[in-house]
Amino acid sequence: MTLDSLILSTSQREALEVATTAYEGNIAEAREFLASRGITREVATEYRLGFVDEPAPGHERFVGMLSIPYLTAAGVVKLKFRRLAGEGSKYDGPSSAARLYNTAALLGDEPVVALCEGEFDALVCSALVGVPAVGTPGTQWQDHWSRCFADKDQVLVVADNDVKEDGSNPGMKHALKIAKNVPSGRVVTPPPGEDMNTWVLAVGPDAVREAMGL
């Protein structure tokens, strides 16, 4: 990856903003899915989630999917899409450089932040649990991202505790790797089979905060 791959042109930024605006106007189409995740209309609006009905050029294969914009102080820098029904990969998107999701969580003066696997877990942790959270794109991690957390007293790395039948646990492996790389990193482990989102739905935000040591 090069720095150039992260820098968007004016036209690219404008296209992302136009698409995000169009898709968020259709968010009611995804209300059942969002409700199943505990996400209200107000939270969806805050994070500018959307639904692809009339696709922007190049987004034709994302029709019927939820749009998840990567929001920054400079605007939308990436769009990712989540399949709501049917077969195929759960997540999809145009080819682009890997980025951290919800980096706005790092801009405040809160001494504690969370680092979750995936966009939805970061969104739920921030909006429902009340702990500012950043999301990795799946189990991807780039070591230079650790510098983003240098001024935080604690980085709570929330594992996706997805124990497999063969005994492997890729989510825990991912969390342990990150905790070794970020300053003041500490792994938070949900119950077996749970991630941040399902954990919150099962026991509620207060119980999750207590388990996180907050």
Residue 6 has a pLDDT of 67
The pTM assigned to this predicted structure is 0.92
Joined tokens for residue 109:
């003066």
Hey, which bits of 73-145 come out as E strands?
75-83, 91-92, 112-117, 133-136
Looking at the fold, whether 33 and 61 belong to one and the same domain comes out as yes
Looking at the fold, whether 43 and 138 belong to one and the same domain comes out as no
End-to-end CA gap in the chain: 37
Residue 4 has a pLDDT of 38
Domain boundary residue, one of 39, 64, 92? 92
pLDDT per residue rounded down to tens, the chain (214 residues): 443 346 888 999 999 999 999 999 999 999 999 999 999 999 999 999 999 999 999 999 999 999 999 999 889 999 999 999 888 889 999 977 899 999 999 998 999 999 999 999 999 999 999 999 999 999 999 999 999 999 999 999 999 999 888 989 999 999 999 999 998 999 999 999 999 999 999 999 999 999 999 9
CATH code, 76:
3.90.980.10
Looking at the fold, whether 80 and 119 belong to one and the same domain comes out as no
Say whether 77 sits in a helix, a strand or coil. Answer: strand
Buried b (16+ CB within 10 A) or exposed e, 69-92: bbbeeeebbbbbbbeeeeeeeebe
Residue 104 has a pLDDT of 93
Q: Rounded to whole angstroms, how far apart are CA atoms 131 and 112?
A: 8
Q: Rounded to whole angstroms, how far apart are CA atoms 63 and 26?
A: 12
Residue 88 has a pLDDT of 85
Looking at the fold, whether 83 and 162 belong to one and the same domain comes out as no
Which residue range(s) make up the domain with 169? 103-211
97 falls within a domain:
no
